[in-house]
């Protein structure tokens, strides 16, 4: 994961380490390389500039320059700023006693939404909850059958009916109550691109079903474009969090590092493989550690 940025960063930081005492010029030069590594990793331009400015302001302070190990101090600053860039994130999934918790997943077609719905159901089941998967993607051919197959694999019930997406979601909450399920996961329809009709349909579901949390499933392979997608969905739906998929692939880091800074919406889970047990909590500290190598 993120090999390019890790290589670029460790190279820049290794050079700083090799110098012993540092001047503000040395630091600026080192941070220019850090900046280049970020841009090559497809991190949003404004995010990179703000990040570098923050690190530089802290790294060129007298306390750092006067130390015998300034480079270590700068690495710590970069780490802390990476954590701040991607966090904080609340890892909890809400619980309630009056009715089932409703989690609405949305996202573009092919982002991994249906797979992620099943992964999330499995995660919740392993945490002792009783999820109900809801096949509300009546747009993509085969999506309903796909969810039913995945549900069978993890032994989680799947609610479906061939009416309208809004009715499926509404009735599913009733079905969850009857089946004593405590968490409803809505797999809504996506489109190849963001369009008004999609957003209206999602807003309608959002208004009528009042989900407790709305998560955007977004493909890390699209890099910083993920932040633009998240912004558009957040404008329409007020997202609680993003789930970043396909981080096991050849991704450069642009999505993971841009989304929170551009939209204010944190990443809560990451998909790291096609199999259903390949969903992890997103922990900014762990990700910052991975990026720094
Ligand atoms: P949807 O159209 O958004 O519902 O997308 P799907 O759930 O059908 O997923 C599209 C493709 O992405 C499928 O081939 C999934 O197996 C794959 N996929 C989903 N999540 C991940 C992931 O975290 N890693 C990898 N490598 N593939 C994933």
90-116 residue pLDDT tens: 999 999 999 999 999 999 999 999 999
Going by pLDDT thresholds of 50, 70 and 90, the confidence category of residue 19 is: confident
Q: State the distance from the centre of ligand 1 to the C-alpha of 150, rounded, in angstroms.
A: 12
The pLDDT value recorded for residue 192 is 87
Give the pairing of strands 267-271 and 241-245: parallel
Query: What would the pLDDT profile of 138-159 be if each residue is shown by its tens digit?
Result: 989 999 999 999 999 999 999 9
Residues counted in the chain? 293
The pLDDT value recorded for residue 84 is 97
The pLDDT value recorded for residue 18 is 83
- Across the range 79-87, mean pLDDT stands at 96
115 lines ligand 1 (CB under 6 A): yes
pTM: 0.96
Which residue out of 219, 272, 274 has the highest number of ligand 1 atoms within 8 Å of its CB and is therefore the one to mutate? 274
Query: What would the pLDDT profile of 217-231 be if each residue is shown by its tens digit?
Result: 999 999 999 999 999
Can you tell me the distance from the alpha carbon of 193 to that of 208, in angstroms, rounded to the nearest whole number? 24
The two tokens of residue 30 are 């080192």
The pLDDT value recorded for residue 193 is 87
11 lines ligand 1 (CB under 6 A): no
Q: Which residues lie across from 186 on neighbouring strands?
A: 104, 134
Q: State the CB neighbour count (10 A cutoff) for residue 279.
A: 22
Q: Which residue has the higher pLDDT, 253 or 149?
A: 149
For atom 12 of ligand 1, the residue with the nearest CA is: 112
Q: Residues 6 or more apart from 6 whose CB is under 8 A from it?
A: 290, 291, 292, 293
Q: What is the ipTM of this complex?
A: 0.99
Q: State the distance from the centre of ligand 1 to the C-alpha of 256, rounded, in angstroms.
A: 17
Going by pLDDT thresholds of 50, 70 and 90, the confidence category of residue 194 is: confident
Angle of helix 3-17 versus helix 24-40 axis, rounded to 10 = 170
- Across the range 108-134, mean pLDDT stands at 97
The two tokens of residue 105 are 């997943």
Is the pLDDT confidence value at 72 over 90?
no
Q: Residues 6 or more apart from 141 whose CB is under 8 A from it?
A: none
Contact criterion met (CB below 8 Å) for 205 and 165: yes
Quick one: 76 exposed, middle or buried, by C-beta within 10 A (0-12, 13-18, 19+)? Answer: middle
Going by pLDDT thresholds of 50, 70 and 90, the confidence category of residue 276 is: very high
The pLDDT value recorded for residue 62 is 80
Tell me what percent of the residues of the chain surpass a pLDDT of 90. Answer: 79
List the binding residues for GTP: 107-114, 187-191, 245-248
Contact criterion met (CB below 8 Å) for 171 and 161: yes
Counting atoms of ligand 1 from 1, which one is nearest the CA of 271? Answer: 23
The pLDDT value recorded for residue 67 is 80
**Residue 117: which of 131, 101, 99, 100 has the closest Cα?**
131
- Across the range 186-193, mean pLDDT stands at 93
Contact criterion met (CB below 8 Å) for 6 and 291: yes
Going by pLDDT thresholds of 50, 70 and 90, the confidence category of residue 26 is: confident
The pLDDT value recorded for residue 71 is 85
Counting atoms of ligand 1 from 1, which one is nearest the CA of 137? Answer: 4
């Amino acid at each position: 994961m993120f090999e390019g940025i890790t290589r670029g960063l460790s190279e820049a930081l290794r050079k700083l380490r090799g110098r012993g005492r540092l001047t503000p010029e040395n630091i600026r030069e080192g941070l220019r390389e850090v900046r280049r590594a970020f841009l090559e990793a497809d991190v949003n331009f404004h995010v990179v500039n703000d990040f570098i400015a923050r690190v530089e302001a802290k790294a060129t302070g007298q306390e750092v320059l006067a130390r015998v190990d300034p480079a270590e101090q700068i690495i710590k600053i970069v780490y802390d700023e990476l954590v701040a860039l991607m966090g904080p994130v609340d890892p909890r999934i809400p619980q309630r006693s009056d009715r089932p918790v409703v989690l609405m997943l949305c996202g573009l077609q092919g982002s991994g939404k249906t797979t992620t719905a099943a992964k999330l159901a499995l995660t919740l089941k392993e945490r002792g909850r009783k999820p109900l998967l809801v096949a509300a993607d009546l747009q993509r051919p085969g999506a309903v059958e796909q969810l039913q197959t995945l549900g069978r694999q993890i032994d989680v019930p799947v609610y479906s009916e061939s009416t309208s997406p809004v009715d499926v979601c509404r009735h599913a909450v009733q079905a969850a109550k009857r089946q004593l399920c405590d968490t409803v996961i809505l797999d809504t329809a996506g489109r190849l691109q963001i369009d008004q009709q999609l957003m209206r349909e999602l807003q309608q579901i959002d208004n009528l079903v009042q989900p407790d949390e709305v998560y955007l499933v977004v493909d890390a392979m699209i890099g910083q474009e993920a932040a633009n997608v998240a912004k558009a969905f957040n404008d329409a739906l007020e997202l609680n969090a993003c789930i970043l998929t396909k981080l096991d692939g050849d991704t450069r880091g642009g999505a993971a590092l841009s989304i929170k800074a551009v939209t204010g919406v944190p990443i809560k889970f990451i998909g790291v493989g096609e199999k259903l047990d390949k969903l992890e909590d997103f922990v900014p500290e762990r990700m910052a550690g991975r990026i720094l190598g």
